[in-house]
Amino acid sequence: MRAKNNPLVIIIPVAVAVITHLLVFLGLYFSWFGITDGTGGNFCELSHEGLIKQPSNTLSNFGFMLAGLLAAYQIYKGKFDKNNNPLTTTLFYPIVLTSLMVLLSPGSMAMHGSETSVGGYFDMLSMYLIAGIIFSYAAMRLFKLSELTYALVFIGTLVVCHIFHYSTWEPPLVGFAGSFIFGVFCILGVIFEIIHKIKDKPKSEIKWVIYASIVFSIAFAIWQIGWDEHPWCIPDAIVQAHAIWHILDAVAIYCFFRLYVSEDN
């Protein structure tokens, strides 16, 4: 079943966006995330009293939601229908991928909005979702996996990430095992993409890889200055470096979506 003009392509990501963001703000209002302990409070922005502790770093995450909804709308309108790939020829993958893009928003919001350890977990969960997207979608196309097998691979990726997340191992360089396994799955996903490109020779718009790399490189450079200790840190500034990092990351994720949807087998 093709995704073009199918209302589920829009309805489900929108429902995911509304429900998850509503839960986050209800969680902030009713203190479901627990007692504020300063988790994520070292990203320069001054901690405010009231509902949202870090307004700039919190609200900037809406960029991920907008990227996912834009992708869903473009698929629904058939913008990429001339291409033959899982995002244009099935209903399953467009809904899953765009909904996961939307879900990157509330996870980070939970941490920056609450500054709690529970919120910090949801922030890491959003990173694990990114790793799952990159790794499982690449594995699906390389190994010609069914939808069920793809789902199992994605869930398995999240399970492994959580095993590392709760381990006491401190890997060199990154220090946190959760960050280490996040990097491993992302690298494996890139390797699978390269092998898929060599083996199956699909046509795709490589320019989107270049765009994503440029945007992410700029984002990473800006991320470096968004810390309390950095001399350029202005805690009470309306626009924060870490907030810009969120927005540019959302743009990079959208560029990866455009790479995926440009593929023509």
CA distance 72 to 79: 10
Tell me if 41 sits within 8 A of 47, measured CB to CB. yes
Return the pLDDT at 164: 97
**Packing angle, helices 117-143 and 241-262, rounded to 10:** 20
pLDDT, mean of each 10-residue run, the chain (265 residues): 89 98 97 94 93 96 98 96 94 96 96 96 95 95 96 97 95 87 93 92 91 93 93 95 96 95 92
Return the pLDDT at 174: 74
Return the pLDDT at 240: 97
> Which pTM was predicted?
0.92
CA distance 121 to 143: 32
Nearest in space to 260 (alpha carbons), one of 63, 87, 9: 87
